[in-house]
Structure 1
């Protein structure tokens, strides 16, 4: 194929371009097409003007040639599809998509890359455009392009195209087609390339968010151990995306949460509770709180991972959102844990003092409510096991009773009511 770097020095007006591309002379066609591409790429001529002059269908016809004209036409159309929704839809209406799909089989990698780029622009323009690209069997066209020998520039564009096929969840893309991409996204999580990792993770976020069976499909694609590994990335964006998917998994069934624990997720999550970024810390604490809302085996795994040391630190010094999630971690353990696990919180983790101290955060009644819920259950638990006398003494020694009495004057009625119930039932002689 002709060297792509060959550029003509001729400059044509829009009228001359129209004449040239509609000529029967191949050299004139190429000259007009190349000049049109340069003007569109450089922003020297409005896309709407080119559409209005009726030459875009001619560009699409040139995609069916098998010479250097294809590349210039593909390049120009790629720029047009990066414009407005109306401009992209015009290209679709002129039936460009099947011709771009055919170009995916070209022996010329630069032409293939241009076709992938154009299809990415089209698929990213909304659910309707995305589905048209899918309906033309784009997945069959791109999967064979992926190998260990695929150039990085092309691979990035392929993953970006695949990512756009998973976006725009109203309506969601056909899940049977998206599922075919998941093994590739899972494999891409092993990449060292940041753009590829971001697109692969973003795609898995979309799948896990959009489909009832999306979480299980991500697990079945063997992505969980790779996502756990990405939690130690130095790139904040990758950590945030991996956390989002892992959060969905932890919010799923017990079996799905077990896949996260089995992949070593708790160790990495424990480290992230010490991260310098507050958003990552609070998201991680939210995930831990969901795990402790699961089975007693899962609660024990959290205890065994030493995570409650970091939870105690968050209760003491975390930002408000992190404190709330840490409080839920404790409350869920009290609500669902075994007697041994609850006693571990009290005796070994020394969690009760910072937990009770949250009762003083009057401006955040949601946090107070979480703690009161846990305390009420803790008293009922003690009543059944060994009586409440020792727990009452401990709470009083930690100024907990004073904090409960102060809540009797809280502006929220439900806070007053729970505080009153605890005081009346368990401290009525005080």
Structure 2
């Protein structure tokens, strides 16, 4: 009795929903999140105006070294202006303050920082303005104030979204090392925008993406909460795109990130990864001439098949393992079957084990592998 899928495959082919365009879905999710943050930011700004409006700031503050921020009142007024030119001037002044080593605690208390960030998120900033704002944000992400960190990370995330020139400007601003450091921050509010910025960089050219993929891979190798942070940051879709289309040096880094997430992910997280289209590129790599890659691919597919089997026993998908059919449709079954003849004993045993557990129906078929 042949182990190959029967003609029922054609009927089953239509039983699962093909993932929507990954890139479009990613941007749509980001737009919704940005709109939510804008709404919350407006509420916070209203409170700050009441607590420390630009017309009630009192005398210029002085730091411990005697440095006065003489134009704080003007900066605050400019921060609440809707004029892009005025706002750009505020950013320049803010940058100069930081460059001079002035403390910014009073600036933060005046509500200038979230207003500057809100303005960046609301307007499509041109590249010159991005290059002006990034040094300010680069310094803000080194502060210990969680609220400022969140605002600054979200602003960098927005500025890194789009063209490769914007991504390059973010890289040249020197923010990436600190963003990587912030991946260990205890607050999810900081972790998600930091990860999202790195996810935006992943969409750049090969040089921009290779190292960042390695960083994301290390995060995905963590616990379920860290994997969820990668998912929440909308990084999975661009990783899958790289796994399918990038040069192998980059594809390999994306592969380790996806495989780590599958290995340590919960059933729900694995189902999300499958919905983003990871099955087909994993099946393609089964034919790659490297036993280490073949082995990891089979481990990933085994985990995916286990989730499909769990759903099958729960009565989901009419009692069928939908992921087994999905792998067949991606030619994964044929590739696994061909690995039974592999010279590497480990690869041979893994292939046999998968076939026996998920595709062999009776004892007669099982004897073919003994």
Q: Give the TM-score range, shorter chain.
A: 0.5 to 0.7
2:304 aligned with 1:355: yes
Give the aligned partner of residue 152 of structure 1. 105
Q: CA shift at 1:242, angstroms?
A: 0.8
Q: Deviations over 1:21-59 (max 9, x none)?
A: xxxxxxxxxxxxxxxxxxxx879xxxxxxxxxxxxxxxx
Q: CA shift at 1:275, angstroms?
A: 1.6
Q: Deviations over 1:68-90 (max 9, x none)?
A: xxxx99516x9xxxxxxxxxxxx
Give the aligned partner of residue 76 of structure 2. 117
Q: Is the 8 A contact 2:142 2:178 kept in 1?
A: yes
Tell me the distance in 2 between the aligned counterparts of 1:310 and 1:278.
Answer: 9
Tell me the distance in 1 between the aligned counterparts of 2:324 and 2:126.
Answer: 40
Give the aligned partner of residue 274 of structure 1. 224
Give 3-state SS (helix, strand or coil) of 1:213's partner. Answer: helix
Q: Is the 8 A contact 2:199 2:235 kept in 1?
A: no
Q: Is the 8 A contact 1:225 1:260 kept in 2?
A: no
Q: Pick closer, same or farther for the CA change 1:249–1:335 going to 2, 3 Å.
A: farther
Structure 1 unaligned spans of 5+: 1-40, 44-71, 79-106, 123-128, 403-430
Tell me the distance in 1 between the aligned counterparts of 2:97 and 2:55.
Answer: 20
Q: Is the 8 A contact 1:295 1:336 kept in 2?
A: no
Q: Is the 8 A contact 2:91 2:136 kept in 1?
A: no
Give 3-state SS (helix, strand or coil) of 2:125's partner. Answer: coil
Give 3-state SS (helix, strand or coil) of 2:225's partner. Answer: coil
Give the aligned partner of residue 339 of structure 1. 289
Q: Deviations over 1:99-122 (max 9, x none)?
A: xxxxxxxx953x633333332223
5 Å matches for 1:402-417? none
Q: Is the 8 A contact 1:165 1:178 kept in 2?
A: no
Give 3-state SS (helix, strand or coil) of 1:173's partner. Answer: coil
CA-based RMSD of the aligned residues comes to 4.1
Q: Pick closer, same or farther for the CA change 1:155–1:356 going to 2, 3 Å.
A: same
Give the aligned partner of residue 377 of structure 1. 331
Tell me the distance in 2 between the aligned counterparts of 1:133 and 1:200.
Answer: 20
5 Å matches for 1:241-260? 241-260=193-212
TM-score of the aligned structures, taking structure 1 as reference length: 0.54
Tell me the distance in 2 between the aligned counterparts of 1:280 and 1:393.
Answer: 33
Q: Pick closer, same or farther for the CA change 1:332–1:377 going to 2, 3 Å.
A: same
Q: Is the 8 A contact 1:198 1:237 kept in 2?
A: yes
Q: Deviations over 1:2-23 (max 9, x none)?
A: xxxxxxxxxxxxxxxxxxxxxx
Q: Pick closer, same or farther for the CA change 1:114–1:270 going to 2, 3 Å.
A: farther
Count of paired positions: 284
Q: Is the 8 A contact 1:334 1:342 kept in 2?
A: no
Q: Is the 8 A contact 1:270 1:310 kept in 2?
A: yes
Give the aligned partner of residue 162 of structure 1. 116
Q: CA shift at 1:203, angstroms?
A: 1.0
Tell me the distance in 1 between the aligned counterparts of 2:53 and 2:196.
Answer: 40
Give the aligned partner of residue 92 of structure 1. none
Indicate the structure whose relative CO is greater, using CA pairs within 8 Å and at least 6 residues apart: 2
Q: Pick closer, same or farther for the CA change 1:374–1:182 going to 2, 3 Å.
A: farther
Give 3-state SS (helix, strand or coil) of 2:186's partner. Answer: coil
Q: Pick closer, same or farther for the CA change 1:188–1:343 going to 2, 3 Å.
A: same
TM-score of the aligned structures, taking structure 2 as reference length: 0.61
5 Å matches for 1:295-310? 295-301=247-253, 308=259, 310=261
Q: Deviations over 1:307-351 (max 9, x none)?
A: 73552242xx332x543216744543333573325412256xx33
Tell me the distance in 1 between the aligned counterparts of 2:192 and 2:351.
Answer: 42
Tell me the distance in 1 between the aligned counterparts of 2:283 and 2:355.
Answer: 19
Q: Pick closer, same or farther for the CA change 1:380–1:339 going to 2, 3 Å.
A: farther
Structure 2 unaligned spans of 5+: 1-48, 58-66, 343-347, 362-370
